[in-house]
Structure 1
């Protein structure tokens, strides 16, 4: 950053920050919120999948679920380490929140966050079984891919690099879900799968959040956003509609 350029101008022009000591308070607050949401969602997601490992119909499926649990926990650890550089108590963090806590299956909280942590609302709902978990993973892994593509270009370079390293693993979780869904269809689980699509689709869709033009422009000026939430959600919706079609399933709107 040149001596004549303000920090705001530097970030708006695509500049990057590399050290907590260079980060102003408002930037730090937004960065910590972003990291906490990711870490809490990964830990809550890992806790949810841990509970269904032994429901897998075979060894291969159980290995896949265990791999997801391991990698999501590792992803949380990577980003939590960066939070630690900003003063977060990383030793206490993992045991501070009830990651396994879930609401009732019929709860409808929209995008409301838990009172315990910053996990996305979708991670407050329980799985009803193996098939349900596969479908949730199928839908959510693609949503995570869209979000990571967005966050892999943010202006805090260490975090952007962490997200870029995490993205391939999360994409593989989607591959595992697609493989699992294909096998479930072969085993005649079509209707159960469609029921799960109808349940999880709106809950995953709302995880993108709504559009707040003023807030978006603020985050964009800090180099923390490039695309609106609705744009990410629309890309996810289009991609998942095509994936579901290949599996002989429909989106809830198409299934009416």
Structure 2
């Protein structure tokens, strides 16, 4: 006899409470599957959109060494996207149809500030709607966005969904390499009088954008994620950990820590994910 949704939920929550992982669609309630797919789509779409934004900088990088660095980062992001899309296919998502439906090269104009809103119907983190116009912008993606993603994806390494949990170790190692690349450049540029002002300007512009991605404190949806074992921490807890991490590298670079004034009413409930 098939289990009722209530019985399935009781079994699922009991398994999560014991620290066991969910391994199949058959074990999932509709609530669990819906929230899992939502989080994984945000990560997958962001990986691909991020890679597409980086590709032009393979040609525009300041040296042949950096051409290879950018190409490697772009390749990593495409691989991360493919890993996540493969998991989503196993959950019944039409991945190829999705990639054809959305324009992951779409970027907003330089004058646009999105706040916490998205510019299209795909699920990428909204930071990936902004253009990367300069090398300073590219470095800020490594320093800020890859770092922010790392802080958020720490929870995925402990996710109650076993297949997601198992792929995250490899993804996180590569993300940390991207952060290290950005940090080395931030210190280099920040200590160079010729580049310090433009580096500070880029930092001041990108830091608030990244702070906006983490979602509202004590959001209803985040509470559901934590109940289901898909997240471990509140949105704002992750944001504050990210902020303190940024402060350390900013101080190493001899730059001023940017400020961010939250507009809680406009922030999305979701904590967004990328890689």
Q: TM-score, normalised by structure 1?
A: 0.92
Please report how far the alpha carbon of residue 252 of structure 1 lies from its aligned counterpart in structure 2 after TM superposition. 1.8
Which segments of structure 1 move beyond 6 Å, counting only runs of 4 or more?
none
**Alignment deviations for residues 201-254 of structure 1 (CA, whole Å, 9 cap, x no partner):** 000111111123433332211111110110111010001011011001122239
Q: Please give the root-mean-square deviation of Cα atoms over the aligned residues, in Å.
A: 2.0
Partner of 2:246: 240
Partner of 1:46: 51
**Alignment deviations for residues 155-175 of structure 1 (CA, whole Å, 9 cap, x no partner):** 000001112221000010011
Please report how far the alpha carbon of residue 183 of structure 1 lies from its aligned counterpart in structure 2 after TM superposition. 3.6
Q: Does 1:35 align with 2:40?
A: yes
Partner of 1:205: 211
Among 89, 93, 97, the alignment partner of 1:84 is 89
Q: Does 1:224 align with 2:216?
A: no
Looking at structure 1, the residues matched to 23 and 39 of structure 2 have their Cα atoms a distance apart, in angstroms, of 16
Looking at structure 2, the residues matched to 137 and 7 of structure 1 have their Cα atoms a distance apart, in angstroms, of 37
- Name the SS for the 1:152 alignment partner: helix
Partner of 1:7: 12
Q: Does 1:18 align with 2:23?
A: yes
Please report how far the alpha carbon of residue 127 of structure 1 lies from its aligned counterpart in structure 2 after TM superposition. 1.5
Looking at structure 1, the residues matched to 220 and 46 of structure 2 have their Cα atoms a distance apart, in angstroms, of 25
Looking at structure 2, the residues matched to 71 and 235 of structure 1 have their Cα atoms a distance apart, in angstroms, of 25
Partner of 1:113: 118
- Name the SS for the 2:106 alignment partner: coil
**What is the aligned residue count?**
252
Please report how far the alpha carbon of residue 176 of structure 1 lies from its aligned counterpart in structure 2 after TM superposition. 1.2
Partner of 2:180: 175
Among 253, 256, 264, the alignment partner of 1:250 is 256
- Name the SS for the 1:76 alignment partner: helix
- Name the SS for the 2:100 alignment partner: coil
Would you say the 8 A contact 2:208–2:259 is kept in 1?
no
**Alignment deviations for residues 62-111 of structure 1 (CA, whole Å, 9 cap, x no partner):** 11111111000000000100000011123333333211111112212212
Q: Does 1:125 align with 2:130?
A: yes
**Alignment deviations for residues 20-74 of structure 1 (CA, whole Å, 9 cap, x no partner):** 2221111000010001000111111111111222221101111111111100000
Q: For structure 1, which segment, 215-224 or 238-247, has the greater mean C-alpha deviation from structure 2 after superposition?
A: 215-224
Q: TM-score, normalised by structure 2?
A: 0.86
Gap runs ≥5 in structure 2:
1-7, 261-275
Would you say the 8 A contact 1:220–1:226 is kept in 2?
yes
Q: Does 1:62 align with 2:59?
A: no
Looking at structure 2, the residues matched to 25 and 46 of structure 1 have their Cα atoms a distance apart, in angstroms, of 31
Partner of 2:149: 144
Q: For structure 1, which segment, 86-95 or 122-131, has the greater mean C-alpha deviation from structure 2 after superposition?
A: 86-95
Please report how far the alpha carbon of residue 185 of structure 1 lies from its aligned counterpart in structure 2 after TM superposition. 4.0
